[in-house]
């Protein structure tokens, strides 16, 4: 059986995603590696999540569909520019690994983790949540079929990072 990152990569490929913006993240490690290794995709490493919204808008102007990978702690960085997706009718699938939930070892992650769904919703981005690994790829596939902006949140229990030691050894 494929892992969720492999399944998601397959869905991105099937939907013709040509550009994948990402901010490095332990939960997305495998998916980032798959996208970087795929010659049909250009994986663009960003310094901040906000850059990924501009990148996606430019890609869409140029006729290419894109996806954006981030951790929940970066969602707040995108809030103002998420408005671009609505005002300019730009489709984008944002895949978010959650922090600040069950099993979180870092209390500083909690406020943004708690606010993540609302931060997307106030800016008009559709939010879906995957609580189990097998739910991730179908939600991503559905988001990719739509012409609006979508965020798929992957619960922390799916990622399963429990301590600094485990995270840094991944």
Site residues, another protein (CB under 8 A): 18-19, 42, 44-48, 50-51, 53-64, 66, 80-81, 83-84, 87-90
Q: Smallest gap, in angstroms, from Cβ of residue 30 to another protein? A: 22
Q: Smallest gap, in angstroms, from Cβ of residue 44 to another protein? A: 6
Q: Smallest gap, in angstroms, from Cβ of residue 109 to another protein? A: 22
Q: Smallest gap, in angstroms, from Cβ of residue 119 to another protein? A: 16
Q: Which residue lies nearer to another protein by CB, 63 or 169?
A: 63
Alpha carbon distance 53, 73 (integer Å): 16
Q: Which residue lies nearer to another protein by CB, 87 or 107?
A: 87
CA angle at residue 114 from 124 to 133, to 5 degrees? Answer: 85
Local structure of 170: helix, strand or coil = coil
Local structure of 13: helix, strand or coil = helix
Counting every residue written for the chain, the total comes to: 170
Q: Are 139 and 130 in contact (CB under 8 A)?
A: yes
Alpha carbon distance 122, 113 (integer Å): 15
Q: Smallest gap, in angstroms, from Cβ of residue 18 to another protein? A: 7
Closest CA to 90 of 65, 112, 122, 118: 65
The token pair at 127 is 């939010």
Q: Which residue lies nearer to another protein by CB, 83 or 111?
A: 83
Q: Which residue lies nearer to another protein by CB, 78 or 109?
A: 78
Q: How far apart are the first and last CA of the chain?
A: 21
Q: Which residue lies nearer to another protein by CB, 15 or 84?
A: 84
């Amino acid at each position: 059986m494929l892992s969720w990152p492999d399944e998601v990569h397959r869905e991105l490929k099937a939907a013709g995603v040509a550009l994948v913006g990402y901010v490095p993240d332990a939960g997305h490690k495998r998916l980032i590696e798959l996208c970087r290794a795929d010659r049909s995709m250009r994986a663009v490493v960003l310094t901040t999540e906000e850059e990924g919204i501009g990148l996606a808008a430019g890609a869409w102007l140029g006729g290419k569909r894109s996806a954006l990978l981030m951790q929940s702690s970066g969602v707040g960085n995108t809030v103002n520019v998420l408005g671009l997706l609505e005002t300019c009718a730009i489709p984008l699938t944002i895949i978010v690994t959650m922090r600040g939930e069950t099993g979180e070892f870092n209390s500083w992650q909690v406020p943004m983790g708690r606010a993540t769904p609302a931060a997307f919703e106030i800016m008009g981005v559709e939010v879906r949540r995957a609580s189990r690994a097998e739910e991730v790829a179908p939600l991503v596939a559905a988001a990719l079929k739509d012409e609006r902006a979508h965020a798929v949140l992957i619960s922390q229990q799916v990622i399963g990072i429990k301590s600094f030691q485990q995270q840094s050894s991944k």
